[in-house]
Structure 1
Amino acid sequence: MKLPKPIQRGSSWRITVSFENKRYSATRDSAKECEHWALSKLAELKNGKISEEKGIKAAYPFRDLCNKYYQEHGRHMRSARTILFKIKNLDRIAPNLADKSIYDFKPADIAEWRNQRKKEVKVATLRNEHGIYSAVFTYAMKELFLLESNVWQSVTMPSKSKPRNQRITPEDQEQLLQAFGWDGTKSPEKTRDYVAWSFLFAMETAMRQSEILAMRRADLKDGFVHLPFTKNGESRNVPLSKEAKRLLALLPGKDALVPIDKSKCCATWTRVKNKADLPHINFHDSRHEAITRMVKDKGLPVEVLAKITGHKTIGMLVNTYYNPDAQDLVDMFNKTES
């Protein structure tokens, strides 16, 4: 086959080859490099065609499939940031799988990866990574029709660890505010002020950090905040307590109520909680604490509470996020007898 001539465009050269009625192009620094690329590309395409006719599938590296999954599907998901991180760090997370062809994956490969990863990260992290990579294979199976089954689903993952039940005491809250250097009465100005404000607002509303950061002034209604997009994919309305309304009144009249991104919020939170000597407290613990207080102080029935928090599964709400201590249970029990 006669090669087409490279075409010069400015300081670079471009060449286009055709195979099976499809066009492939590349830009290189010189005409000679274009010709080398064209020869190599045509050989690759011909070999792939021959292999396909013989029933041999051309190699498809897991890395390439992950990138395609993110570009066509993952980047549109609410968890896009996490998905991208797990894909970008594939060489560190799964070094023996990154360049392996998806057609060559065996259950033993996944099990070997699981056993090694268990030594490096927590079970929750391992399960999260397994879920993302399994979703990539499901995409290849149901959307690209490259696979007939998902090998990741044939390997057992460690059971979930015991649900977190960390409470935030009034003393912890005061200690954190002192470390933030914000007393909760002035309009927030600096990043750390807004993170402190977000923490207090979460304690009043049980809203997730991402939901608070995404709030817009147009979302504020009479007595509640409307969340158009949430983790479970549905909107919900969160009633506002007197304290929540007071906190909202402190914010400047801008559209973005909390003008910081998630990365800056997380970094600031980690730095300040360590400064407060409370490294064991996570921002998400505010959701646990808020839900527990709503039951204790307001006596909300579980079906109403689920509407406020956005939980579709009552079991998750009760067994994971409602964390009463023994005295809370005694007090509630005694109320029923009075």
Structure 2
Amino acid sequence: MASIRQRAGMWQARVTRKGFPAETRSFETRSEAQKWAREIESNMDHGDHRRRLEADHLLLSDILQRYMEEVSPTRKGGSEEAIRIRALQRTKMAAHSMVKLTPALIASFRDARLKNVGNGAVIRDLSILSSAINHARREWGVSVENPCLLVRKPTIPPGRARLLKPDEEVRLMRELQPIGRRSRWMAPLVRLALETAMRRGEMLGLKWEHVDLTAQTVFLPDTKNGTPRTVPLSTTAVAVLAELPRSEDGRVFQISAMTMEAAFRRACARSGIANLHFHDLRHTATSKMAEKLPNVIELAAVTGHRTIQMLKRYYHPNAAALAKKLG
């Protein structure tokens, strides 16, 4: 049973229940003390008292750390997710205990983040945050509600429609040539992306044991959507791979994702090419392939899209070319 009394200018609530240690806490108002006492009694009645106390002392930063160590390594893109989690741990929000994490606090984080990054980045942050909290609730016995479920997410941004123009391709390939300290892997990596529409991670994880230059194919055992696929190679793609040196560890491209992204941005800057992401090369390659493979089923088999709806996001037909087909 709870008792409320005023002591030293504060309101002290004390909850005693058979089978549980007495719980005491002081508040500035009587209503706050009564509310806390009711919550403690309810938790005791439902067997959640101990887990609730643990959540009261567990910080969001602790949950994110454990999630990064135990869950992220099992997910595709786990290394990139870990980078986002470390950034979340540096926010003021991460210093709050799990029971103090409110929708208002999450919304405040969202609004502050939107001032510096786009909607897509904030959506990914909120997704990671919600996943970590849900995992803690289901797997680690952290007795809290998920405040992210009550927070409005930013509008999903429209898909990019940026394609690499022919004149830009010439300038970009010129700036990617291995002159001086420039990486020898960038030019063949970009050329292969434009010839195959493979994703960045698929190419960086490519191993020679899965490359068959005679059959003109590359086998991808682990793709983004979880379905293995075999990618056909054009004669240009075969020539690009044939010129690459073989490494002892079996990897085709000896370059990390971060190094590659930095080198690509520098090459774009030197070429005077604005607003081009490496992933835009996949859009460009898919649109070019569509001219040779009008059968959407065949095209999807090459690009690895599981649905026609997703394929449409990457296929950007040229209106002038379509007009010529109409006659």
TM-score interval for Structure 1 and Structure 2 normalised by the shorter chain:
0.7 to 0.9
Please tell me whether residue 241 in structure 1 is matched to residue 234 in structure 2.
yes
Mean CA deviation greater in 163-172 or 190-199: 190-199
Alignment match, 2:82: 84
Question: 2:267 matched to which residue of 1?
Answer: 272
Give the aligned residue type for 1:259. Q
Partner residue in 2 for 1:17: none
Matched residue count = 275
Structure 2 Cα separation of the partners of residues 313 and 86 of structure 1: 28
For 1:215 and 1:306, locate their aligned partners in 2 and report how far apart those are by CA, in whole Å.
Answer: 20
Partners in 2 of 1:173 and 1:167 — Cα distance? 10
* Cα distance in 1 for residues equivalent to 2:63 and 2:219: 38
State the TM-score, normalized to the length of structure 2: 0.78
CA RMSD of aligned residues (A): 2.2
Structure 2 match to 1:126: 122
Q: Does 1:322 align with 2:315?
A: yes
Deviations 1:72-123 (A, max 9, x none): 111222221222112222254x32x111111222211111111111111111
> For residue 184 of structure 2, what is the aligned residue in structure 1?
193
For 2:201, the equivalent position in structure 1 comes to: 210
* Alpha-carbon offset, residue 291 of structure 1: 0.4
Note if contact 1:191-1:260 (Cα within 8 Å) is conserved in structure 2: no
Cα distance change of structure 1 residues 166 and 234 upon mapping to structure 2, 3 Å threshold: same
Residue 74 (structure 2) pairs with residue 71 (structure 1): no
Aligned counterpart for 1:104 among listed residues 86, 100, 106: 100
8 Å CA contact 1:63–1:99 kept in 2: the answer is yes
146 and 179 in structure 1: CA distance in 2 versus 1, 3 angstrom threshold: same
1:140 and 1:272 map into 2 onto residues whose CA distance is 43
Aligned amino acid, residue 228 of structure 2: S
Structure 1 unaligned residues grouped into runs of 5+: 1-50, 183-187
Q: 1:284 aligns with which of 268, 279, 283?
A: 279
1:304 aligns to 2:285 (yes or no)? no
Query: Shift of residue 156 of structure 1?
Result: 1.5
Separation in 1 of the partners of 2:288 and 2:177? Answer: 25
Name the CA shift for 1:136/1:106 in 2 (closer, same or farther; >3 Å).
same
| CA distance in structure 2 between the aligned counterparts of 1:240 and 1:333, rounded to whole angstroms | 30
Aligned partner of residue 163 in structure 2, secondary structure: coil
Contact 1:201 1:247 in 2 (8 A): yes
- Structure 1 residue 190: Cα displacement: 6.9
Cα contact 2:60–2:95 (8 A) shared by 1: yes
- Displacement, 1:189? 11
1:332/1:205 CA distance change after superposition, 3 Å: farther
Q: Does the 8 A contact of 2:103 with 2:150 survive in 1?
A: yes
1:110-168, Cα deviation, whole Å (9 max, x unpaired): 11111111111111111111111111011112212314642212212111112110111
Q: Distance in 1 between matches of 2:201 and 2:50?
A: 50
Q: Which residue does the alignment assign to 2:131? A: 135
Residues 106/332 of structure 1: CA separation in 2 closer, same or farther (3 Å cut): farther
**Counterparts of 2:142 and 2:115, CA distance in 1:** 32
CA displacement 1:1-41 (0-9 Å, x = unmatched): xxxxxxxxxxxxxxxxxxxxxxxxxxxxxxxxxxxxxxxxx
Indicate the percent of aligned positions where both proteins have the same amino acid: 28
- Tell me the CA shift for residue 191 of structure 1: 5.3
Q: Is the 8 A contact 1:311 1:317 kept in 2?
A: yes
5+ residue gaps, structure 2: 1-47
